[in-house]
Amino acid sequence: MKRTSLALAVAAGTLGVSLAAQAEFLKDSKASLEARNFYFNRDFREGAGQAKSEEWAQGFLLRLESGYTEGTVGFGVDALGTFGFKLDSGDGTAGSGLLVPDRSSGGSQDNYGDLGLAAKAKVSETVLKVGSLQLKNMAIGSSDSRLLPQVFRGSQLVSKDIAGLTLDAGYLDEVNDRNSGDYQDLSLNNYAFSGFTFDDGNLSNEFVFAGGTYKFNDSLTGGYYYSNLEDLYKQHSFNLVHVLPLGDKQSLKTDLRYARSTDDGGSNVDNKAFGAMVTYALSGHSFGLGYQKMSGDTGAVYVNGTDPHLLNYVQIGNFAAKDEKSWQARYDFNFASIGIPGLTLMTRYLSGDNIDRGTASDGKEWERDMDLAYVIQEGPLKNLGLKWRNAMVRNNFGRDIDENRLIVSYTLSLF
């Protein structure tokens, strides 16, 4: 009888601990569903070949982030479910990056999607994730500029145990690109006039990175990352950001970036990428001037399909070709400063020259971008986002481009 009572007590205690751990796991969990409607039109103004790329698609993103179980080591799981389908696309206008290419017809597939899972563990302020990952740091940035986001497979360790210091390290072996339904090997972005050559193809199944950022004070933040795309390149990246308060609703921000990239045995990578931008903010206005310079035997390097940590990487161009020098003028305005919250405007102009085209004359290019966005602040359509992205590109070595993107998005918090 006593042994039965003791067994029941132990079982009840174990169940209580288990339920408490589960309660913490569920209490801090959150889930959301984003609906994203995307129209893309890229008009090639001259030259032979496809006259335009035009597609319209609908996407859904289901995000789940669990809390952590109780204990010294807490465990949890994250999930990202994606699904996109075609609304309109002709066989002659595919290639927008919204949908998966249909190689048999030259058009796009009707739909695609994926379910990505990541297990996670937490000790104090250090978190390890293994599985499907989206990353955004100086070494690598997952692109989310189309219908569905780019997702990597691998592991990442982030520690914030020391005040002001964020340490970050990871290993990646495959990528599911923003217009792909499956995982593939990684590669180096081999763009026009990059100058890259490869000894045994442009594929790799290992990308590692390690680094972090440190906030010296309220005004100054510095960062460093080392990264290596196996057989293709090694890179050291540095960043320094300083914000100087100038008085009531005024500030001066300085952003300095430098990356040194070399080969890793299977390519000819050799690049120094320098960028500097100064931005003056006054109430809702921001005025920025930037300069970017490439030097070495090749252009700048980054994993194919990602958003690199380059100042002049913008809507269409990257201004990172071999020997290219470029500058940027940018203006932002937040209409909340004049009583219209939710409405924002960005416009910028970039010009690049000195591009090494071999025996031909130096390459030149310019791009003008504009983003106009509004998020409804109240009423039954609260949080509905509307965005118009417009760009124009002209150069002396490729096709001229006029581009428009119309994006309607709505995120519903499930719990």
CATH number at residue 40: 2.40.160.10
Strand partners, 392: 368, 402
- Tell me, what's the pLDDT at 50? 86
**Over 60: is that where the pLDDT of 385 sits?**
yes
For 200-210, the pLDDT digits (tens) are 999 999 999 99
**Over 50: is that where the pLDDT of 3 sits?**
no
Residue partners of 175: CB distance under 8 A and separation at least 6: 150, 151, 152, 153, 183, 184, 185, 186, 303, 305
Give the burial string for 302-311 (b: 16+ CB within 10 Å, else e).
bbbbbbbbbb
164, with CB counted inside 10 A (0-12, 13-18, 19+), is: exposed
**Over 80: is that where the pLDDT of 8 sits?**
no
- Give the chain's count of helices (H) and strands (E): 1, 20
Domain of 29 in residue numbering reads as 2-413
Number of domains comprising the chain? 1
Q: What is the 8-class DSSP label of residue 193?
A: T
265: left (phi over 0), alpha (psi -120 to 50) or beta: left
353, 325 in Cβ contact below 8 A? yes
Tallying the residues shown for the chain, one arrives at 415
Mean pLDDT (the chain) is 93
**Over 90: is that where the pLDDT of 105 sits?**
no
The residue to which tokens 């409804």 are assigned: 376
Q: What is the 8-class DSSP label of residue 6?
A: H
For 287-300, the pLDDT digits (tens) are 999 999 999 999 99
Average pLDDT of the segment spanning 218-241: 98
82, 98 in Cβ contact below 8 A? no
State the Cα–Cα distance between residues 367 and 351, nearest whole angstrom: 7
**Over 90: is that where the pLDDT of 10 sits?**
no
